[in-house]
Amino acid sequence: MRPAPPARARAARISIERIGEWFAESAITTHTLQVVLGGLAPDRGLYVPDSIPTFTAAEVEAMRNYSFPQIAFRIMSKYIPTEEVPAADLEDIINRSCTAFRDPGVTPVVKTGDCWTMELFHGPTFAFKDVALQFLGNLFEYFIDKKEGDAKRLTIMGATSGDTGSAAIYGLRGKKNVHCFILYPKGRVSLIQEQQMSTVPDSNIHCLRVEGTFDDAQDIVKAAFMDTEFRNKVRLGAVNSINWARVLAQMTYYFYSYYRVTDQAKGVKKVSFSVPTGNFGDILAGFYAKKMGLPVGKLVVGTNENDILHRFFSSGTCITDHKRITTLLSTTLYNLNFTYPLLV
């Protein structure tokens, strides 16, 4: 693994050439444990794979009748070396993570009009992030259990605009030697999300309401990670979409839904995905699935009035204007976080 280019100041121009130069200068080797427990890279960048492993067309087709946990195991085995997590242990972590879902398919697909819809509301908090955070919670506990002495503990710190916080809390509640601190902006999450976060009685869960926006809460988290002395003292780890393990876990339902759609839509060669997004973490999993060999057509991204990333990719300039941030507690985009349309 290596860190991706670090975030720049509030305004920055895209430079593909510079990004390529940065990768050439900055490639480092990092173990899975460090990537999972660390979240952010030391230079403020995000960890990404040195290379993207692939499946042949025959290998993709061979997984058609696999269960959701079996598909997850095949994908994750491509990225997690057996010397770091033995195959039997990885299978156990995946299987235990999937038992938290009310549907045996974890993310079933249903026909809705002229397209199909992936149901992502069968986890404990009814959010799509349950898929990744159930897995991440068990992975945290697994790695911490392997450590000795003072290193046998982990402090998770994350910021949320709603569903990340509750999904993280339900993924980490009761985990041994793991304490979870979730920051959320006052008055900017829905009542049910606030109740989900603040009513969990487990002693290792801590919710902090902050003044301002989600970006203000996220800035506090990022500042903590940039304070090397503090980060090392408390053994800081992350659950936001900056954590590569979340992206890795989410690749599974792109594969699973592709099989379920093409089981019904005979003759369809590729499936396109329409995904609502905040900071592109979930659509990134679809991008990696496509790069691995999954027959994906288009990856369509939907956003609402809070379209900072849309403006960035449209103009090449990233400007955070808090005056333009709108509080949306019940919107179509929010509801779409529980289901994704699949287009063929």
Tell me which residues are annotated as active site.
Answer: 129
259 φψ region: left (φ > 0), alpha (ψ -120 to 50), beta (else):
alpha
Q: Comparing C-alpha atoms, which of 70, 76, 63, 69 is closest to residue 101?
A: 69
CA-to-CA distance for 66 and 70, rounded, in angstroms?
Answer: 6
Taking CA atoms, 189 is separated from 144, 270, 320, 326, 334, in Å, by 31, 37, 20, 12, 11
**Which class for 264: exposed (0-12), middle (13-18), buried (19 or more C-beta within 10 A)?**
exposed
Distance, CA of 164 to chain centre: 9
Question: Residue 143 and residue 209: Cα distance in Å, rounded?
Answer: 29
What phi, psi does 112 have (nearest 5°)?
-135, 100
The DSSP secondary structure of 13-82, one letter per residue, reads ---HHHHHHHHHHH-----HHHHHHH-B-TTS-BEE-SS-----HHHHHHTTT--HHHHHHHHHHTTS-T
The answer to whether the beta carbons of residues 190 and 161 sit under 8 Å apart is: no
Query: Among residues 141, 145, 150, which one has the least CA distance to residue 175?
Result: 141
- Residue 157 pairs in a beta bridge with 181
